[in-house]
Amino acid sequence: MTKKVSPVAKFKSLRTPFYYYDADLLRATLQVVVEESSKYDYHIHYAVKANANPRILSIIHESGLGVDCVSGGEIEAALKAGFPASKIVFAGVGKADWEINLGLDNNIFCFNAESIPELEVINELALAKGKTAHVALRVNPEVDAHTHHHITTGTKENKFGINLDQLDKVLDQLENLKSLRLIGLHFHIGSQLTELEPFINLCKRAEELQEQLLKRNIHLENINFGGGLGIDYRHPDQHSIPDFKSYFETFHRYFKVLPGQQVHFEPGRSIVGQCGNLISKVLYLKEGSFKKFVVLDAGFTELLRPAMYDAYHQIENISSSEKTEVYDVVGPICESSDCFGKDRELPLTNRGDFVVLRSAGAYGESMASQYNCRQLPQSYFSDSLE
Ligand SMILES: *Cc1c(COP(=O)(O)O)cnc(C)c1O
């Protein structure tokens, strides 16, 4: 175990399982994001759905970023954390009327809209308030993200976005919706992308679309490339901060910004993924017929990613340094999918040991549930845990 997760002594008095966040790493990551994106005047909106913990939001707010929200609840959480409405973008394939009204009442920067029926509803609600809503069209760029199919969003059969062959029709309809102002295009091709090539293809597609729209005399003030930059789940200590330098350089190199145009991004996982750890305790060692199981007090109610996406998380026993054994590491939930890792090498493990699931800062706490009447996990931060 590294210095990152602090001494076991600090954890002894705390009820497990809980989330433990490295505030220094989060701040260091934000510093790199700000430094690398400001070279090109890019605008960054943190994707709140990755982690909406109030303290996390407050640290991110201090760095000056905006936010990307996908629900009314997230807009409320962002406003509460102090983010100005002028830096809020609101995405999602199914925005409810109250959520649209919340956005309108607060004059958020932009609605990223995905269909004609949605545009009609935003128009109607804006008209009723005597307002003009700023909208960007979320276009499905039909770029393959080469990632897990559950987190691919940019291909044609996906529920997200307006398909390329329908864009002209949507633009025609938009001309009749007088309470809307088209301010840009929005893309998001998927999550946990580990290569830059799909982003290059996205840049090319955005330039093509830009040309196409200029022919209709539409000048796009904003281009939003969404999120998706992956993190290294296998080597959280070697690669604790993702390569934002190459990421933003790629967009700078392959997407030519038009005069007066603003470019936006919505990173989620890449900002918060590595700073979070799920801390649990070993309840039992169970010997199967041909396997040994480590049964933790944490389950998919605290960290859903392995059960939902077959996701890999590094698992470490921070209480033992004995020679290793091979175990399946499982949770207590009454579902077979409640398994964090198969055939993992851990030091000889005993009841009461602390076991850490690494790289759990994104889509961990924010996806926690109360299934089996379990309590939602507590969270602690490295800079405030004494
Ligand atoms: C989920 C999501 C993001 C963030 O994706 P990450 O892979 O966490 O960076 C950004 N934009 C939209 C529209 C999203 O749905």
CA distance 317 to 297: 14
pLDDT, tens digit (0-9, with 9 covering 90-100), for 91-147:
999 999 999 999 999 999 999 999 999 999 999 999 999 999 999 999 999 988 876
Least confident of 11-15, 141-145, 166-170: 141-145
Model confidence at 1, in pLDDT bands (50, 70, 90)?
A: very low
Kindly give the number of the ligand 1 atom that is closest to the alpha carbon of 267: 9
DSSP secondary structure of 62-96: HTT-EEEESSHHHHHHHHHTT--GGGEEE--S---
Q: What is the Å distance from ligand 1's center to 49 Cα?
A: 8
SS3 sequence of 301-312? CCCCHHHHHCCC
Q: What is the CB < 6 Å shell around ligand 1?
A: 47, 49-50, 68, 70, 91, 188, 191, 226-229, 266-270, 362
Nearest CA to ligand 1 atom 11: 226
CATH of 8-18+274-384, one of 1.10.10.60, 1.20.120.1150, 3.40.50.10540, 2.40.37.10: 2.40.37.10
Spell out the domain ranges in the chain: 8-18+274-384, 23-271
In this predicted structure, what is the pLDDT of residue 54?
98
Higher-confidence residue: 6 or 359? 359
In this predicted structure, what is the pLDDT of residue 371?
96
Model confidence at 218, in pLDDT bands (50, 70, 90)?
A: very high
Kindly give the number of the ligand 1 atom that is closest to the alpha carbon of 268: 8
Coil, strand or helix at 51: coil
In this predicted structure, what is the pLDDT of residue 152?
62
Kindly give the number of the ligand 1 atom that is closest to the alpha carbon of 229: 9
Kindly give the number of the ligand 1 atom that is closest to the alpha carbon of 190: 7
pLDDT at 55 > cutoff 50? yes
Q: What is the Å distance from ligand 1's center to 67 Cα?
A: 11
DSSP secondary structure of 230-270: ---SS-TTTTSS--HHHHHHHHHHH-PPPTT-EEEE---HH
Tell me how crowded residue 121 is: count the other CB atoms within 10 A of its CB. 16
Q: What is the Å distance from ligand 1's center to 295 Cα?
A: 32
Percentage of the chain modeled with pLDDT above 70: 95
pLDDT at 370 > cutoff 50? yes
In this predicted structure, what is the pLDDT of residue 215?
95
pLDDT at 2 > cutoff 70? no
Q: What is the Å distance from ligand 1's center to 231 Cα?
A: 13
Kindly give the number of the ligand 1 atom that is closest to the alpha carbon of 138: 13
Percentage of the chain modeled with pLDDT above 90: 91
Q: What is the Å distance from ligand 1's center to 188 Cα?
A: 7
Which residue out of 33, 37, 46, 49 has the highest number of ligand 1 atoms within 8 Å of its CB and is therefore the one to mutate?
Answer: 49
Q: What is the dihedral of CA 129, 132, 134, 137, to 10 degrees?
A: 90
Kindly give the number of the ligand 1 atom that is closest to the alpha carbon of 192: 7
Model confidence at 229, in pLDDT bands (50, 70, 90)?
A: very high
Higher-confidence residue: 25 or 335? 25
Average pLDDT, the chain: 95
- What's 23-271's CATH class? alpha beta
| pTM of the model as a whole | 0.95
In this predicted structure, what is the pLDDT of residue 153?
63
pLDDT at 226 > cutoff 50? yes
Kindly give the number of the ligand 1 atom that is closest to the alpha carbon of 230: 7
Q: What is the Å distance from ligand 1's center to 29 Cα?
A: 17
Q: What is the Å distance from ligand 1's center to 46 Cα?
A: 9
Model confidence at 349, in pLDDT bands (50, 70, 90)?
A: very high
Kindly give the number of the ligand 1 atom that is closest to the alpha carbon of 91: 13
Q: What is the Å distance from ligand 1's center to 114 Cα?
A: 15
Nearest CA to ligand 1 atom 10: 227
Q: Quick check: 186 and 263 in contact, CB under 8 A?
A: no
Which residue out of 48, 68, 231 has the highest number of ligand 1 atoms within 8 Å of its CB and is therefore the one to mutate?
Answer: 68
Of 184, 377, 214, whose CA–CA distance to 299 is shortest? 377
In this predicted structure, what is the pLDDT of residue 385?
82
Span 205-217, average pLDDT: 95
pLDDT at 172 > cutoff 80? yes
pLDDT, tens digit (0-9, with 9 covering 90-100), for 313-334:
999 999 999 999 999 999 999 9
pLDDT, tens digit (0-9, with 9 covering 90-100), for 235-269:
999 999 999 999 999 999 999 999 999 999 999 99
Q: What is the Å distance from ligand 1's center to 186 Cα?
A: 12
pLDDT at 366 > cutoff 50? yes
